[in-house]
Amino acid sequence: MKKKISFLSIAVIALIFFGFGCEKDEENILAPRDLILEYATNGKDLILTWTASETADIDGYYIYFNGVKIDHVDDTVTTYTHVDPDTVGEYKVTAYRGNNESEGATAFSVTYVFAPSDLILEYAANGKDLVLTWTASTTTDIDGYYIYFNGGRIGSVVATVTTYTHVNPDTAGEYKVTAYRGEDESTGATANFVPYIIAPSALILDGATNQNDLVLTWTASRTPDIDGYYIYFNGGEIGDVAATVTAFTHINPATVGEYKVTTYRGGDESAGVTASTVPHEGIGELWDMDTPEIIFYSGWGWNWNTGRGFSYSVIEVNKDNIEFYYDLDNTLSSGRDLLWGVNETGFLRIASYTNAGNLPTMGYMNCEDVITGQAYALIAVKTYSTTWHYIKLRIDSYSSTPHDRIAFTYAFQLVPNFTLLD
């Protein structure tokens, strides 16, 4: 009995010793360390990383957010992604084994200021200002955006705005747009700007002194380092001039058509400014001055900007509009022949309305007889104008019932002092 008691005592002592030793082991699970929080590239998810617990035989790690356990991972894992957290707060990661848990590694999250993206540069309609647009920051509570050019801040906009206009930039460089909240500022969305070759503007066509050649003039390109200008006619290049020149003379063009002037630098070429010598063609009709003017008009004139013609009652209030009128003796007469007439038109018979080439510059009379099928060259001058316009006109039909009436086709050359209409 004595020996038995002795063995029992030893067993109890051993159990107590080893049991207490294990319990102590369980209580000393070492916590993970160095918890780091970083946003994922999508700007929404938050990635947690930590240094593993130095306790070798743990089961894994618990993840807490604002005191609430949200997940766990295996013992071999030292990272966790919190998908799209909608609030900021404290994260904690603990190591665990069975029912025992270590202290926690903690870190506080803040709303990260994410940069805007997809910065795009485009010229405004005026061809001078540069418009910047970008995709908004995914950070919802920013104060706004800063705009930089070549490292210097040039402006800012509020958080709801994703566009900015840089007025007339004259140098190349880098644009950058950042998001900011208080003193915190994101990285930037960037785009490089190289001034594109700006086309010349305001192309004007005018007849030369001899009225057969055509003079082109334009406003210079605003791009400062161009090599020169190309001149095109009906799609084919007919010349080029140096960057300091803004005029070109097309010697005796054989046909009418469209002119275009572009700017070039090396192999780069701008869009073009255009103007046309194609005349405006239309039809009209007049009644002789013996007819009732309330219904049937005898005067005619053109809009010199569009080339469109209109009939007018031959009364003094219309004196500035009337270029010629249909007379009582069956003639086309200059508006200057009216008692209060101011505009003058000369008439000259030509062989054909469709003949190619230039209209004559001399031999015009102040009236011409109306003959069906006959074509006439006209030269019209307004009293207040220092230029004149050439017109072709053909009498298409004549009728004497119920009153003398003519119908005609005309072509009005919008280019002043220029005789080519075909």
Check whether 35 has a pLDDT greater than 90: yes
CA distances from 162 to 121, 137, 286, 362 (A): 12, 9, 61, 64
Token readout for 141 is 């509570």
**185-210: pLDDT as tens digits:** 888 899 998 777 888 999 999 999 99
Contact 190, 175 (CB under 8 A): yes
**207-237: pLDDT as tens digits:** 999 999 999 999 999 887 899 999 999 999 9
What confidence score (pLDDT) does residue 11 get?
42
What confidence score (pLDDT) does residue 224 get?
77
Q: Considering 240, 261, 276, which residue would you say is the last residue of a domain? A: 276
Q: Are residues 271 and 304 in the same domain?
A: no
CA distances from 88 to 50, 55, 114, 144 (A): 19, 30, 15, 21
User: CATH number, domain at 218?
Assistant: 2.60.40.10
What confidence score (pLDDT) does residue 16 get?
42
Q: Are residues 88 and 4 in the same domain?
A: yes
What confidence score (pLDDT) does residue 184 get?
84
Check whether 20 has a pLDDT greater than 50: no
What confidence score (pLDDT) does residue 370 get?
96
Is 421 among the domain residues? Answer: no
Q: Report the percentage of the chain scoring pLDDT > 70.
A: 93
**128-186: pLDDT as tens digits:** 789 999 999 988 789 999 999 999 999 999 999 999 999 988 777 899 999 998 888 88
Is 106 among the domain residues? Answer: yes
Q: Are residues 182 and 159 in the same domain?
A: yes
Q: Are residues 103 and 217 in the same domain?
A: no
Q: How far is CA 264 from the centre of its chain?
A: 21
Q: What domain range includes position 172?
A: 117-193
> Tokens 């990260």 appear where?
112
Q: Are residues 256 and 244 in the same domain?
A: yes
Contact 51, 33 (CB under 8 A): yes
What beta strand segments (E) does 267-387 contain? 268-276, 280-287, 299-302, 309-312, 324-326, 331-334, 344-350, 367-369, 375-381
Check whether 116 has a pLDDT greater than 60: yes
Confidence of residue 88 (pLDDT cuts 50, 70, 90): confident
What confidence score (pLDDT) does residue 222 get?
82
Q: Is 0.85 topped by the overall pTM?
A: no
Please give the average per-residue pLDDT across 278-282, as a whole number: 97
Sheet holding 324-326, edge to edge: 309-312, 299-302, 324-326, 331-334, 367-369
**325-352: pLDDT as tens digits:** 999 889 999 999 999 999 999 999 999 9
Q: Considering 68, 89, 110, which residue would you say is the last residue of a domain? A: 110
Q: Considering 88, 110, 132, which residue would you say is the last residue of a domain? A: 110
Q: Are residues 7 and 78 in the same domain?
A: yes
